[in-house]
Amino acid sequence: MDDTAPPLAAAITTAPPLACETRNLRKIFGSTKAVERLDLRIPRGMLYGFLGPNGAGKTTSLRMIAGLLKPDLGDIFIQGVSLRADPTAAKQPLAYVPDDPVLYGKLRPLEHLEFVAALWNLPAGTAQPRAEELLRTLGLWEKRDDYIESFSRGMKQKMALAAALIHAPTVMLLDEPLTGLDAASARLVKDLLNDFVHRGGTVILTTHILDVAERMAERIGIIHAGRLAAEGTLAELRERAGRTGGTLEDVFLQVTADIPAPPPLTA
């Protein structure tokens, strides 16, 4: 044993808390177990890819972490603060972008961002320039006088991203953030997320585009039938699946192999 290493207890107390931790999380809808005994430990400063087939429990898990759904069992910690015990403090660093964002159609982009900034108690002097900068960065500045209801799906997605970033969160939860975006916008969002992570932020992202997860995510969790079926870096997942040279798609299909194949389409 290395004598210079700090004692274990000291290491535990001095280590920075995880960005997000779930303990024994469970959610049941009627007779359907949406999420069962989900234990996640996501360190700060990484992009975590949360994958799974349709109906696996990704969105439910993300909504529980965001505090939008109450878990039936278990607890969630955001940067060490229990969402159950102190929801106000736990939500302060959080941002959540759903797959189909709902925005105020009859507001203009800056009015929407003003409201969101006020919800997170952001001083007006900070919020206004940041809102304007975000609109410029996301290519929405030219649309600043239009109502959001006239935006296309991709523009709404970018607007939701701007609303998520306005209060400078440190943990972002993104549900299928690239849905509906054109290639240039998708690149812009990916660059923004990478930059966010390089500056110490944490991103938890669900996606069906495995290439994106493969290229961007530092760690990947695969959820299947409400349980965490596999987790690790891409190399660890490959190793576990016994496919050293395989792609994430191969690993994903192997981990979720017990799903019955759909019947073949007939012409």
Residue 164 or 251: the one with the smaller Cβ distance to another protein is 164
In the bound complex, what is the minimum distance in angstroms from residue 95's beta carbon to another protein? 8
Rounded Cα distance between 152 and 35, Å, is: 33
What does the block give as tokens for 201? 């932020």
Residue 24 or 32: the one with the smaller Cβ distance to another protein is 32
Among 74, 98, 154, 201, binds another protein (CB under 8 A): 98
Give the CA dihedral 207, 208, 214, 218, nearest 10 degrees.
Answer: 30
Identify the helix (H) or strand (E) that includes residue 77. strand 73-78
Is 145 one of the binding residues for another protein (CB under 8 A)? Answer: yes
In the bound complex, what is the minimum distance in angstroms from residue 74's beta carbon to another protein? 16
Residue 64 or 238: the one with the smaller Cβ distance to another protein is 64
Question: In this chain, which stretch among 111-119, 182-190, 229-237, 245-253 interacts with another protein, using CB under 8 A?
Answer: 111-119
Provide the total of helices (H) and of strands (E) in the chain, helices listed first.
10, 10
3-state secondary structure 203-264: EEEECCCHHHHHHHCCEEEEEECCEEEEEECHHHHHHHHCCCCCCHHHHHHHHCCCCCCCCC
Question: In this chain, which stretch among 39-47, 62-70, 189-197, 229-237 interacts with another protein, using CB under 8 A?
Answer: 62-70
Candidates 60, 52, 57; CA nearest to 253 is 52
Instruction: Note the residues at the interface with another protein (CB under 8 A).
Output: 29, 32, 34, 52, 54-60, 62-63, 66-70, 87-89, 91-92, 94-96, 98-99, 102-108, 110-111, 114-124, 127-128, 131, 143-147, 149-150, 152, 163, 175-176, 206
